[in-house]
């Protein structure tokens, strides 16, 4: 853990002439150590460990790669920087010839039997008449098209605001179930879910464009859930940029329970491709530089969207396990989403908040709406939760009638009552983890 003095390193590593090939897990040219969850594993995967240690002969080898390997991701990155070899590694890797991925022929995507996924026909949903619960009002509206989880190529969609392609990628239970995306995306990283979108706006948005999660039923929370919700909301407010908006939902069905953040700041990676330039490949990490990423997330802008540009963006998280419908790897025990949502579906959404619309689902101008339904046919935890969740939801509903008002929503992490904070936090616990919002890691990347 001690800071290492700069070594007397050679001016270059002659890797290009060593016969080594760029390994399958290497990042696109020019990315170097940027975005690596585990720099030590990345260096090993490049096959340059021996050459690197040879270049560090002026140091105790335990302070070289072995020391880096023992450190956590952030400490490892600092160690590499302290050794003065970050640029050296990046340049050496760029000199390597590209190697094909081991699985060059795409195998069929794995099955996720507990999940079904589709693009929602939001225009038809919004055109339905009457008020009341969202599920009842929109019962007769069919999905626009299915969305294959871990599809081998991005699937097309179009709404009134956006036309593009989308990938929803989940880490398989075992690596061999999906070597294709394990090699390209999951190996050496802690993420369990990544969503990638690429396309263009059909017009210039006039309001803020949000990214987030909605659930399809008004939430009912009891006293125990309220306490847990407060804790999680405090974490979300502390570790995320301003602009977060959330709601518990209302009795009239005007507003769905949701948590959203400005897309410009919320996405993990974003690449804007001007006309005449090729957009980046999907299915691998998007290559946004760390400098551009930091400026985007730390700036005051909420995004300038040009309809002539192609936008590619991704978000990921390691905290949600959709096949088992739970949050995990939190600094607490696993939390089943049905304890917050009962039988509700999850909608991953991108929308423009219409002026005066107040995040009401009929007023939102959706660029994307992916609906995910869970059927607890497998997995002991989900099955046990399913057997009692209707009774639990009914009991929570009776208890919460005395605790929570008809409607609860907030902005910037500030609620208007303790009950509001509880309600919003429960949604935050489940919905925001889906968006890849920042939470402190409780374990190293895996």
- Whole-angstrom distance, CA of residue 72 vs CA of residue 80: 12
Read off the pLDDT band of 335 (50, 70, 90). confident
Instruction: Check whether 42 has a pLDDT greater than 80.
Output: no
The pLDDT tens digits of the residues spanning 226-260 come to 667 667 766 776 776 678 888 878 888 899 989 89
Among 192, 249, 198, 242, smallest CA distance to 220 is for 249
**Measuring CA to CA, how many Å separate 13 from each of 85, 90, 202?**
10, 11, 48
What is the rounded average pLDDT for all residues in the chain? 74
351: left (phi over 0), alpha (psi -120 to 50) or beta: beta
Q: 150-180 burial by CB neighbour count: b if 16+ within 10 A, else e? A: bbeebeebebebbebbbbbbbbbeeeebbbb
Task: From 138, 197, 144, 140, select the one nearest 168 (Cα to Cα).
Answer: 197
The DSSP element (H or E) to which 115 belongs, if any, is: strand 115-119
Residue 82 near residue 28, CB atoms below 8 Å? no
Question: Stretch 360-380: mean pLDDT, rounded?
Answer: 86
For residue 368, the cross-strand partners are 350
pLDDT value for 426: 39
Which pLDDT value is given to residue 177?
A: 95
Per-residue pLDDT tens for 141-180? 988 899 999 999 999 999 999 999 999 999 999 999 999 9
Candidates 243, 268, 256; CA nearest to 427 is 256
Least confident of 62-71, 91-100, 262-271, 276-285: 62-71
Task: Using the Cα atoms of residue 305, residue 31, residue 148 and residue 171 in order, give the sign of their dihedral.
Answer: negative
Q: Answer yes or no: is pLDDT of 282 > 50.
A: yes
Which of the pair, 80 or 367, is modelled with greater confidence?
367
């Amino acid at each position: 853990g001690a800071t290492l003095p700069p070594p007397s390193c050679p001016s270059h590593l002659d890797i290009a002439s060593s016969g080594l090939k760029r390994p399958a897990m290497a990042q696109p040219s020019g990315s170097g150590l940027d975005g690596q969850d585990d720099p030590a594993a990345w260096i090993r995967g490049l096959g340059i460990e021996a050459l690197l240690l040879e270049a560090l002969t002026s140091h105790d080898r335990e302070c070289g790669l072995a020391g880096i390997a023992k450190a956590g991701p952030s400490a490892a990155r600092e160690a590499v920087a302290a050794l003065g070899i970050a640029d050296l590694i990046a340049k050496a890797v760029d000199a390597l010839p590209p190697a094909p991925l081991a699985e060059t022929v795409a195998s069929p995507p794995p099955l996720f039997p507990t999940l079904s996924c589709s693009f929602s026909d939001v225009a038809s949903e919004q055109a339905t008449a009457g008020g009341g619960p969202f599920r009842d009002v929109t019962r007769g509206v069919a999905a626009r098209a299915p969305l294959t989880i871990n599809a081998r190529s991005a699937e097309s969609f179009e709404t009134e605001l956006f036309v593009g392609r989308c990938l929803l990628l989940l880490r398989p239970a075992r690596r061999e179930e999906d070597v294709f995306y394990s090699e390209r995306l999951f190996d050496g990283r802690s993420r369990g879910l990544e969503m990638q979108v690429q396309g263009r706006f059909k017009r210039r948005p006039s309001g803020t464009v949000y990214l987030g999660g909605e659930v399809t039923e008004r939430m009912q929370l009891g006293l125990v859930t309220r306490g847990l919700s407060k804790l999680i909301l405090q974490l979300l407010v502390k570790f995320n940029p301003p602009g977060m908006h959330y709601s518990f939902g209302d009795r009239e069905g005007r507003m769905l329970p949701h948590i959203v953040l400005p897309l410009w700041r919320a996405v993990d990676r974003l690449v804007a491709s001007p006309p005449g330039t090729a957009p980046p490949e999907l299915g691998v990490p998007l290559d946004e530089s760390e400098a551009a990423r930091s400026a985007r997330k730390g700036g005051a802008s909420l995004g300038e969207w040009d309809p002539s540009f192609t936008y590619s963006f991704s978000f990921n998280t390691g905290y949600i396990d959709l096949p088992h419908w739970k949050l995990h790897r939190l600094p607490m025990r696993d939390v089943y989403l049905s304890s917050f949502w009962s039988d509700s579906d999850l909608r991953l959404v991108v929308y423009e908040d219409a002026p005066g619309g107040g995040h009401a689902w009929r007023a939102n101008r959706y660029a994307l709406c992916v609906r995910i339904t869970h059927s607890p046919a497998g997995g002991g935890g989900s099955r046990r939760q399913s057997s009692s969740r209707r009774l639990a939801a009914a009991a929570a509903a009776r208890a919460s009638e005395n605790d929570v008002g008809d409607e609860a929503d907030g902005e910037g992490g500030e609620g208007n009552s303790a009950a509001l904070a509880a309600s919003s936090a429960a949604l935050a616990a489940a919905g925001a983890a889906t968006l890849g919002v920042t939470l402190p890691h409780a374990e190293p990347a895996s």
